[in-house]
Structure 1
C-alpha cells in the first residue's frame, strides 16, 4: 500500500464520526509496539516484513537498545472498509482516521500511560496468552475504568501456546477460558467497589434526610408522632438508589470485543471472522454462529446441529471453538514450521492454501525459511491489521459518542463545576466544532522536540539553497586546509597560530542566557473537545488549581497566542492550520505557560478546568546533581526545568543546603532522565550522587526498653525549661496506634483541605468550593488524587471511631479528637499535637467554633500568659516532626501531649520580652520533644517496593538468593497454570533496590525480570541504638554486638549524607556525656556546623586558638546537651578563611567540663598549607583570669579522660606481656643450644652424658 498523503489525513479530521482515538495499554513486553508496527505497515510507512522488528514508535536510542517503550507517542493512520448503512443495503466504502497512541508498559513510566489515556476514547488492552494478568495489566485496566474508556481485549502471543508450551487445541481452549475469567474478575472487582461506595453514600443521604424530616416534624408539633413516622417511612421508601447492570462490562468473544492474535507472526482473528467463514459451509447464519462459536457448544458431525453441553449424552465431542478455530490455526503451524516435529509439510501447506483460496508468491513458496511461509500465509488469510482495525471501528466509540458519555462526569469532577458556562458545557458534551463555539482543549503533557525536527526547519527533499551550499563548501575547504597544515607542521609557528585564533574568536562578549539557550522546543500533547482552534488564535491557559468560581484568583490564567499546530506522525510532525473538535494534535506557543498539564479555553468567565491526570506512581527516587564543570551550573538548572516540563512524573527541588535534587519514579526512569539531561536539555556533563531514599522515624512500645529518663514523671514525659527559666512546658510523647497512623496517612488530602478552610476562615475570606468537599485535590503540577476527600464532620467521626477501635489504653485516647491542635509535619502529616491543658492554649483544630493556632494579640508591655506562646509551641512541633532525632527524617505515628505551660514573670520588663523568649521557647520545646521521643524505643520506617517476578523453576533458587541478600520478604508464590513458571510476590526496601533488576537478569541469564511498584513505608523492628545489656547477650554477642545492626547502618548512612555527626560502632550511652564534643545521641540535627564538618574536613582538623570575638551576627545553634545546673559557656568560632569570603561566625553552647577536656589534634603539612590557623575563645566574663587556650578538632570524637587512662593501661599491659613472652623464648632457645653443644662434645669423646634436667 502506498504511503498515505498527510493532506488526506487532514481532510478526514473534518468528519468526527469517522475518527477513533485509541491507545494501546499492556504490561511490559506483552507486544504493544509490535502490534503498533503491524498497524503502521498498513499505511506504507514501514515494510510489512519489518513489522514487529523495527519498533517504529520507539524513536529513542535507549528504547531500541532496551527493547521497551519509555515515552508515549502518537501517530495518525488511514483505514477504509466496506460497510452497509443498513442491513441488506449495498456496501459502501468508508474512510476512517485512527489516532493511535502507543504507551509504555513499565511501572516506572505509568505516568505516560495516564497522560495517554486522558486523550483517548477507547483502549486496546493486550494480555500475554502465557503470562496472563500481570501487575501492570491490573493498573491499565483500572486506568480505563477511571477514565471511562471503552476497552478492547487482545490476547496476544498465541503462538507461544503452540511453540513453547506445546499445548493441544483443547488444552489451549481451557487455558484461554481461564485467562478470560481472570481479566473479567479484575473488571468485576472495580464494578463491585464502585457499587459499594455508591450504596454507602446513598444510605448516608437517606439517613440525613430522615433525620432532617424528623427534626422538622418535631419543631412543628412535638405531639404529632404519627405524622412524623409517616414522613420517615415515606422518606426511607423513596426508591432513589438504582441498580446498574454489569452485563456489558465484561469481555466475551461472542460480543466481538476479544481478539486472538500473534503480533510477531502477523495474524489475528475474532469470532465474527470465523462465523463468516463457516456461514456457507454449515448453513448457519453468521449472527447465530457468533453466539455459539465460543463457549460450551458442540457441533454434531452427523446432523450438523449445534448441541449444548446437557445434550451431549456422553459423547466425546470437542467444543466448536476447538474444532472449527484452534485446530485450523494449529494445522497451519504444523504444515509450515512442523509444530512438534520441527519439519514443515509442503504438501499440507499447498492443500491449506487451496482450501482457503489463497495465492502465495512463488518466491515465498520456494523459500526455505518456514517462518516466511507462515507469515505470508497468515497475512493473506487472517491479517492482523484488518481484524484489529475493524474491531476498533465497530466496537470503540467516535468522539461525539464518547464525549456525550464521558464528559458530564469529567466536568462534574472538576473544581467549581457549578460555575461552568452552560454554553461551554453543551459544546463539550455534544462535540460542537463550529468556529463560533467556545474552544476547550486539554494538554496532558509537554513533549520536547529538537529544533531541527520541527516541520518549519525541515527541508523538503533534503536540498540546500545556493548560499547554504557555498557556505558549507567554504567551511569544508577551511577544515581540510587546517588539517593539512597540522600534518605538515606549518601550524607550529606561534604567530600564525595566534593570528588564526584571533580571527576565529569573536570580540563580542557572550551572554550567559545565549549560551544556555536550549535547542529544544516544548510542544503540547493535546485533545480538543469543542470548537475549532487555528494558528494565531488567542486562548487562555488555565493553571491546575483554577476554579471558574474565582476566575481572577492568583495565579490568574494567562492569555497566549497559538504559534503552531501539528499532526502527530510518530517520529515526525506535519504542520496544520486548524484542528476541529475530537482530534488529538500538537500545539506550539505554550512554552513557559504550562508546566506539565493544563486546560485551554477561548473564554475566561465560565470556563472549565479539566484538572489533572491520575499518576500511577509518585516520584520516590531522589538524586543530587551537580555539573562536572562548575561553570555549567546555569546550563544544568535550565536543563532541569526543561526536563521537568517534558516529563509528566519527574520533579526538581533545590534543598536549603544548595543541592539540586531530581525526583523520579524508579531506577530506569532515573537513567532516562539523566540521559535526556546530559544529551538534550543541559548539554553538559552532569554527575549524580548516590540515590537519596526517604525514611520515616517513629517510636514503639518494645518489650525491653531502657528505664525512663525521669521515673517520677513517667516514660516520655519531659519538662522543657527555657534558658532564662521563665517558661516551663510539660510535654508527654507517646506512640500513636498503628490504625490511627494509617488513617491519617490515607486522608492526607482531607487534612490539607480542612487546614485550607481554617486558614480562609481566619483571614475572613470565603473558602473556595465549600460545596465540593468530595472533589479531587489537584497539586501545582496538575496531578489529581481520586481518593474521596472527607468533610470535617466525616473526618472527625471516622477518626473517633478509629481511636475507639484500638485495643487497650482506651483511657489514654479518650476525647483526644476534640483536643487535637495540629497535624505535622507541614500541618498535614500523621503526627498529632494534642492540647491537654484545661485552658486550651493552642486551640482545637477539629472544633467547629474555634480554629487552630490562633495568634493572640501580642503586646510586649503587657504581662505574659501561656496563650502568648501557642504559635511558638505549634511551630516547634512542626519543626520537630519534620526532622526527627535519629537522622533528621520526618516523624510518623507520634502524639505529643501539651499538659501545662507555666510562665514565671520577671521583675525586669526587658527580660520578659516576648521577642526574646520566642527563640528560647521553640528551642526548649524542640529539645523536649526529642528527649521524649528517645525515651521510647525508636524505630525507622523503610520505603518499600512491592516486587513481582515471573521465573521458571530452573532459576527460582537464584531469584530467592538475590531477594534474600537484599533483605526482601517473600509474600507468596504461585505456579502459572499450564507452564513451569512461578509468579513471586515480595517486599523489597527501596534502599536495596538499586541495581536489583540488573542483578536478577544477570543471575538468571535474562529469564526473570522484576516489576517494582511503590508500596509505602514498613517499620524495621530493630532499635538503631540497641547494645547488649544482659549477661547472656554479652556472652553471645560481645560488648559491642558482633551482629550487624541494620537499622543503625541505615541511620548512619543518612547522617553521613546530611553531614551530621556519626557515632561509634553500635555504642549507646545511657546518660548524655558532658565531657565530649559529640554525643552518642544524634546532635546538630540539621545545622550549618554539621554540613560544614562534612564539606570542609581539612578546615575543622586545624587547631583553633582562643580569641574573644562576639558579634551580633553570630549564628546560634542548639547542641542537644542537657541543661546543667551551672550556666553554659559560649565558644566563638571565627572563620576568616579564603573558603568563606564573607565572615561567618558560629556560636555553640557547651558545658564547662567539655571545654576543659578537649584534645589536641595536630594538622598535617598539607592541611597547614591549605588553611590558616584560627582563634577561639570562651567569652564568659566570669573567671577570665582562669581561662586557658584550648584547641579543638571537630572531625573526630574527643576521647573521655577515664577511657583514655583505661586504654593507656591496656597498652602498657600488652607491652609488658610481649616483653615477658620474648624473654621466655630467648631463654628456651639458649638452653636448647647449650644442651646440643654438650651432646656434640660427649660424642667426640666417646662417652654418653645425659643431662638430668633435660631428661626430666
Structure 2
C-alpha cells in the first residue's frame, strides 16, 4: 500500500508510527524521526511537493491500496485531488485518515462540534473526488467512518482511532453489537443519558442540551485528556486512563505537558493499531486486486497466459514484472543494478585519483505481477518504447541478484513471488526509467502499460560544464539523472545545448543538485535561466492550402491545418485532452477509435479512418490525416491540438530522392499551473495584487469554516511561476503559502509579428534566438512571395 497526500499533511510522521510498531525505531521517536525521508532535500522540502508527484505515480503502480492523508485544518487541497485521481486511475482502492488532530485541539482549540463539522466536510470532499474519478471495476470506494474506512489521527503524537475502537468500548455497555454501535457514533445521532435513549434527528435541529454522540463518546474524552495533560492534572489523567485500561508508569508521570500528552495518547490510542486494522481489513490483497487490475495493466490480449497469470497473481504462472523506478545507490553516481561504465572519464595526471567507490547492492525496483523472479534467471527486458513483435527497446539478459528493499536497508534473496515488490541487480543499463520483465523465451508476451504522470516537464534549463574537460562527466551525469527521476527529460538541442526539462522550479533545482553533487562528483556547471516550453496551435482552419518543398526540391507537400475540435461542439472537452487522457489513442482498435471520433467529436467517418499518426512520440494530441511515416515524424515536434490535413503530395519517382531526410523537414499554447494559496483575510489584497502582476487569474475563493484562513485557487502561467513563492511572501509579509501543479495548456491571444502583442512577440523572439534563427519575424508577405 502507498501513503499519499498533499504536501506537509503528515505522510512521513504518520508512517513513523507503523515503522515503530515493527520495532525499527523507538515508539518515543515516532513522528520526529521521519525514517522514510532518506534524502536531506526531502526533509527540507517534503517529497509531497507537487513537483515530485511522479514519485507518487511510480509508487501507485506497484501497490494495490492507498492511505489518503488529509490535514484536519487545511482539508482537501489541490495535491490531494491530484494523487487521489492518480490512485483511482490505477485502480488503487483508498482509505482515509484525517490527520493533525493535535492542531485542532491545541492550535485552534476548536469545540468537539466544530471538529465534527470539519471532519464531515473533509470526508464529503474526498467522496466527491472518488465519485468523479472512480473506475467501475473498483466497485464502491466511498469512505465512511461507520464502515471503518476513515481514521482520525495525530501523526506527530503517534495516536489514531477509528470508530471501531470506540464502538468496541461502548458496545458491551449498551448491549448492542459493534457494527450497530458504529452507526450510532457518526451522523445526527444523540444519546439522552437521563432517559437512556438514542435520538436520530436525521438532519434536523439538535436536541436542546444534548451533545452529538461522536462528540460525546469520542472527542470529549480525548479533549479531557488533552486539557488535563496540558494543565498538569496528573491524578485526573491517571484516573481517566485507568478507566480505559491504560496504566501510566512512574517514568511516564515525570513527563510534563506535550511529552506527557504524547505518551498518554500513544498508550491509549496507538496509531499503528488503528491504521493497520483499517489497512488490513479494507485494502485488498494482491490476489484480490489483480483480478480487476489485470486488464488495465496488461497491453496484450486479456485471454493470453500472461494476462491470466497477472489476474490470478499466480506464483507458478509465467513471469511478468514491472520496473517502476531506478534507485541510486548510497555511493554517489552509481545505480542499483549498474556496472562500472567503460566510458567513465579518466582523471588527468595532475588531478589526484579518487578512490574507487565500493559497489553497493543494486536495485531496479518494481513488482512481480505474475510468476516468480529468481537470481540468475535469463529474462526479456521490454523498455517503455517496446512494441510486441519488434526488436527496438528489447534485451535478453540475466538477473544478477534479487533484493528486498526495506527502507534504508536491503537484503538479498533467492526468489520473489507474484504480489511482492523487489529489486533486480544488473539490469539498469538496459532500462532508462521503467519497463517490463518477462521470461527470456516469452516471445509472445506483451509489456505492462507505461505509467501516465499527472504533471508535465514544461520547465527547461540548459547546462554546460565550466571546465571543458568535464564534458564527458556531464554527458554521463545526464544519463544517470534521466534514470534516477521518473519524469525528468534530458536531451540535446540542434544547437548542441544540453537541456534538462522538469516539472517546476523546485524539481529543476533538485535535479541540478543531484546532477552536480551526485552524478558529476562536484564538477562545476553553468546553468541558464529557466525556459518554459511552448506549443504552437491553430484556432481556425487555415484559409489556404500551403506548399512546402523538400531540401532537394524534388518533393512537394500541399496541406492545411485546423483545430482538433471539441466534443459535440460544447467547447468543454477538447479532443486534445481526450487523447492525452487515453480516451482516443493510436493503439486502440481502429473501428472503436473511428466510432468515438464520429459519435463524440463529429468527425466524418471517412476522414477518421485516414489518421496516419499521432504526435509527439506517436501518442500525443496532434493528428496527421492521409499521410504517413516521414511526414508524421515532421509533424510531432512542437504542436498541440493540431490536425494537419494532406491535400496533395508530389513525390519524386526515384525512392532515393523521397526518403525521410527530404520529407521530414517540410512538415510545430502556453502551459498553465493551478496555484492554491492559503492566507488570512488581511493578506488577501497582497495575494490578488501578486497574481495580477504575474498574469494570474483567480477562479475560486473560499473561507475555511472554523478558521481565519482563506483558500484562493488561480491559474498562473508557468513562465510567471519562477520566484513566485518568494514574491508572494514578500507582498503578504510571509502570510501566504502557494502550491502549484500543472493544469492545462492555454492559447495565448496576441499577434507575434512586429507591432503586435509585446509579450507574445518577446516569447517568439526568444525561441527563435535559442534555435539559431533570425532574430526578427519575417512578415507574412515574405512567405507569400516564396510560395
Shared fold (TM-score greater than 0.5)? yes
CA distance in 1, matches of 2:361, 2:599: 51
Change (3 A) 1:966 1:384: same
Of residues 228, 241, 244, the one that matches 1:335 is: 228
Partner of 1:255: 147
Deviation at 1:623, TM superposition (A): 1.5
CA distance in 2, matches of 1:1006, 1:63: 22
- Whether 1:688 aligns to 2:401 is no
Change (3 A) 1:377 1:824: closer
> Is the Cα–Cα contact under 8 Å of residues 580 and 620 in structure 2 kept in the other structure?
no
**TM-score in terms of structure 2 length:** 0.85
Partner of 1:709: none
Partner of 1:39: 18
Deviation at 1:28, TM superposition (A): 0.9
- Whether 1:633 aligns to 2:471 is yes
CA distance in 1, matches of 2:212, 2:468: 72
Partner of 1:208: none
> Per-residue displacement from partner, 1:266-324 (whole Å, max 9, x unpaired)?
21111111122223433433343223222222223134333322799955422211111
CA distance in 1, matches of 2:649, 2:421: 63
CA distance in 2, matches of 1:832, 1:278: 64
Deviation at 1:893, TM superposition (A): 4.8
Of residues 292, 302, 305, the one that matches 1:406 is: 292
CA distance in 2, matches of 1:106, 1:1058: 33
Partner of 1:415: 299
> Is the Cα–Cα contact under 8 Å of residues 420 and 608 in structure 1 kept in the other structure?
no
CA distance in 1, matches of 2:607, 2:336: 66
- Whether 1:1015 aligns to 2:743 is yes
Change (3 A) 1:826 1:273: closer
Partner of 1:163: 106
Partner of 1:746: 577
Q: SS at 2:396's partner residue?
A: strand
Partner of 2:442: 604
> Which structure 2 residues correspond to residues 1-400 of structure 1 after superposition, within 5 A?
22-66=1-45, 68-69=46-47, 105-191=48-134, 248-309=140-201, 315-337=208-230, 343-367=231-255, 369-400=256-287
Question: What root-mean-square deviation, in Å, do the aligned CA atoms of Structure 1 and Structure 2 show?
Answer: 4.5
> Is the Cα–Cα contact under 8 Å of residues 696 and 941 in structure 1 kept in the other structure?
yes
Change (3 A) 1:36 1:651: same
CA distance in 2, matches of 1:562, 1:165: 55
> Is the Cα–Cα contact under 8 Å of residues 697 and 715 in structure 2 kept in the other structure?
yes
- Whether 1:955 aligns to 2:668 is no
Change (3 A) 1:1019 1:363: same
Partner of 1:1060: 773
> Which structure 2 residues correspond to residues 1205-1244 of structure 1 after superposition, within 5 A?
none
CA distance in 2, matches of 1:616, 1:587: 27
> Which structure 2 residues correspond to residues 389-468 of structure 1 after superposition, within 5 A?
389-403=276-290, 405-410=291-296, 414-418=298-302, 420-421=304-305, 424-433=306-315, 437-451=317-331
Q: SS at 2:532's partner residue?
A: coil
- Whether 1:526 aligns to 2:366 is yes
CA distance in 1, matches of 2:653, 2:445: 53
- Whether 1:988 aligns to 2:716 is yes
Change (3 A) 1:900 1:454: closer
- Whether 1:664 aligns to 2:557 is no
CA distance in 2, matches of 1:38, 1:831: 48
- Whether 1:773 aligns to 2:589 is yes
Q: Compare relative contact order (CA 8 Å, sep 6+) and give the higher one, 1 or 2.
A: 2
**Residues paired across the two proteins, number:** 768
Change (3 A) 1:126 1:819: closer
> Per-residue displacement from partner, 1:891-910 (whole Å, max 9, x unpaired)?
86586785899x9xxxxxxx
Deviation at 1:1057, TM superposition (A): 2.8
Partner of 2:514: 676
**TM-score in terms of structure 1 length:** 0.55
Segments of 5+ residues of structure 1 without an aligned counterpart are 1-21, 70-104, 196-243, 338-342, 458-505, 703-714, 757-768, 775-788, 805-814, 834-843, 846-851, 855-870, 884-888, 904-911, 930-939, 1029-1043, 1064-1078, 1084-1118, 1125-1256
> Is the Cα–Cα contact under 8 Å of residues 720 and 728 in structure 1 kept in the other structure?
no
Segments of 5+ residues of structure 2 without an aligned counterpart are 338-345
> Is the Cα–Cα contact under 8 Å of residues 750 and 795 in structure 1 kept in the other structure?
no
Deviation at 1:264, TM superposition (A): 1.2
CA distance in 1, matches of 2:177, 2:640: 69
Deviation at 1:455, TM superposition (A): 14
Partner of 1:976: 704
Q: SS at 1:973's partner residue?
A: strand
Change (3 A) 1:176 1:518: same
CA distance in 2, matches of 1:292, 1:135: 33
CA distance in 1, matches of 2:392, 2:336: 33
CA distance in 2, matches of 1:276, 1:304: 19
Partner of 2:759: 1046
Deviation at 1:26, TM superposition (A): 0.9
Q: SS at 1:648's partner residue?
A: coil
Change (3 A) 1:691 1:524: same
Change (3 A) 1:999 1:54: farther
- The range that moved more, 284-293 or 52-61, is 284-293
Change (3 A) 1:563 1:1058: same
CA distance in 2, matches of 1:576, 1:895: 54
CA distance in 2, matches of 1:1056, 1:347: 76
Q: SS at 1:625's partner residue?
A: strand
Change (3 A) 1:582 1:688: same
Partner of 2:342: none
Change (3 A) 1:580 1:965: same
Partner of 1:542: 382
CA distance in 2, matches of 1:132, 1:750: 27
Deviation at 1:426, TM superposition (A): 4.8
Q: SS at 1:943's partner residue?
A: strand
CA distance in 2, matches of 1:409, 1:721: 44
Q: SS at 2:669's partner residue?
A: strand
> Is the Cα–Cα contact under 8 Å of residues 598 and 611 in structure 1 kept in the other structure?
no
